Amino acid sequence: MKRRRFIKTGLITTTAVSLSPLSLLKSKNCNLTSSDILGPYWTENHPNRTILANPGEPGTRIYISGSVKANDCEIPLANAIVDVWHANDNGCYTMFMECNSGNPTEDPYNLRGQMVTDENGEYAFETIWPGHYSVRPRHFHYKVTTPAGLELVTQCYFYDDPQVDDAWIENHEGLVIPLENNNDELFGVFDIVVDQEVGQVGLKGEPTLMAQEPTLHSAYPNPFNNNILISFSLSITSHVSVSIYDIKGKWITNLSDKQMSLGAHTLSWNGKEATGQDVPSGAYLIVLKAGKHTRSKKISLLK
Ligand SMILES: [Fe+2]
């Protein structure tokens, strides 16, 4: 019963998709889903499943569905990987913390899972509403990888959360969703639009997709004290160099200079020069070069 209603919730909110001429599609107002920080609690190899919380997991049961679409907001991306992870009801993350409740089988991947979008680009999962931790609002973490290897790291927040105020909504446009409460269970829809270019339409009418690359995500934590995590994703295998410069353009160190495969990568910098000397507090630049593309981000070291 719950399951049927859940699936229906997902379906009725999804607009019927048709392969309209590209000129028509591009004239529509279409917003890409913003990226958000990866955070420190992502791990590789989340199991493939749509029920992330076991039946006894404490917390309010929540059902999320949605779609993944290309940057025309119309063409669904089938076979995209939607990777979701979140805190438990007490704001505790398995694999990184001792979480005492709701995991009788000691599943190391409790409250984590990957699903694959269907032919309509749709995904759905069931879990519990994540709790607060620190000053962070309730949230799901998402990492979406398209078949062409484009990756979007983002988060989903909720209007029903008292910690989500007007400023938060303004700074996280498109990432805050309403929830419907039905018999103390929550239902929400989070649709995702990735920056995947819609190319020519193939002979059978199916779209050919081309990825844009590379993406340098927000580093975490920033400002940092000891160590900063630098995440980026590549849509094709490329020669990648990642370097740190100070704000005046002086080279500090290299973190990578080699061929890297498509997908997500994370490096860390410990605030030291190539010689091993600590650098002083201040602003620094991460410069990522992948093939012909260069991306940079400013970071701050606070001691
Ligand atoms: Fe988090």
Same domain for 197 and 176:
yes
For ligand 1, the distance from its centroid to the CA atom of residue 120, given in whole angstroms, is 28
* Interval between CA 19 and ligand 1 midpoint (Å): 37
Domain count, the chain: 2
Q: Which of 160, 185, 211 is the endpoint of a domain? A: 211
**Same domain flag for 62 and 50:** yes
C-alpha 32, offset from chain centre: 13
The residue among 180, 211, 242 that closes a domain is 211
Q: How far is the CA of 216 from the centre of ligand 1 (A)?
A: 19
- Residue 225 and residue 111 in one domain: no
Indicate whether 191 and 112 sit together in one domain: yes
Distance from residue 153's CA to the centre of ligand 1 (Å): 12
User: Does pTM surpass 0.75?
Assistant: no
- 142 C-alpha to center of ligand 1: Å? 10
pLDDT for the residue 16: 36
Please report, for the domain that includes residue 145, its CATH number: 2.60.130.10
CA of 40 relative to ligand 1 center, distance in Å: 8
CA 39 to centroid of ligand 1, rounded, Å: 6
Residues 177 and 94 in one domain: yes
CATH number, domain with residue 235 = 2.60.40.4070
- Please count the other Cβ atoms lying within 10 Å of the Cβ belonging to residue 58: 12
CB burial class (10 A; 0-12, 13-18, 19+) of residue 284? buried
Integer Cα distance of 80 and 12 in angstroms:
21
CA 231 / ligand 1 centre spacing (Å): 16
**Is residue 214 reached through a cis peptide bond, with omega within 30 degrees of 0 on the bond before it?**
yes
Q: What is the pLDDT of residue 216?
A: 87
- 290 and 199 in a common domain: no
Cα–Cα distance between 10 and 289 in angstroms, integer? 40
Using DSSP, state whether 170 is helix, strand or coil.
helix
Positions in the chain short of pLDDT 70: 1-28, 102-104, 199-213
Cβ atoms 271, 226 nearer than 8 A = yes
Helix or strand (DSSP H, E) at 185 = strand 185-189
Shared domain for 63 and 156, answered yes or no, is yes
**Under a CB-based contact definition with an 8 Å cutoff, are residues 281 and 302 in contact?**
yes
What token pair was written down for 292? 């012909």
Helix (H), strand (E), coil (C) string for 87-119: CCCCCCCCCCCCCCCCCCCCCCCCCEEEEECCC
182 and 270 both lie in a single domain: no
- Which amino acid, residue 110? N
* Predicted local confidence at residue 199, as pLDDT: 64
Which residue range(s) make up the domain with 189? 2-211
Whole-number Å distance, alpha carbon 29 to ligand 1 midpoint, is: 31
Residues 187 and 221 in one domain: no
Q: Alpha-carbon distance 36 to 154, whole Å? A: 4
Instruction: Examine the domain organization and report whether 280 and 185 are in the same domain.
Output: no
Long-range contact pairs involving 278-286 (C-beta distance under 8 Å, separation at least 24): 279/246, 279/252, 282/246, 282/247, 283/246, 283/247, 284/244, 284/245, 284/246, 284/247, 284/252, 285/244, 285/245, 285/246, 285/247, 286/216, 286/219, 286/230, 286/242, 286/243, 286/244
Ligand 1 midpoint to CA 41 (Å): 7
Q: Are residues 92 and 119 in the same domain?
A: yes
Q: Which of 192, 211, 230 is the last residue of a domain?
A: 211
Calculate how far, in angstroms, residue 37's C-alpha sits from the geometric centre of ligand 1: 9
Do 85 and 219 fall into the same domain?
A: no
Q: What is the pLDDT of residues 118-167, one digit of tens each?
A: 989 999 999 999 999 888 999 999 999 988 888 999 999 999 999 999 99
3-class DSSP state of 226: coil
CA dist 285 and 297 (Å) reads: 6
Question: How far apart are the C-alpha atoms of 172 and 234, rounded to whole Å?
Answer: 24
User: Pairing state of beta strands 196-201 and 293-301?
Assistant: unpaired
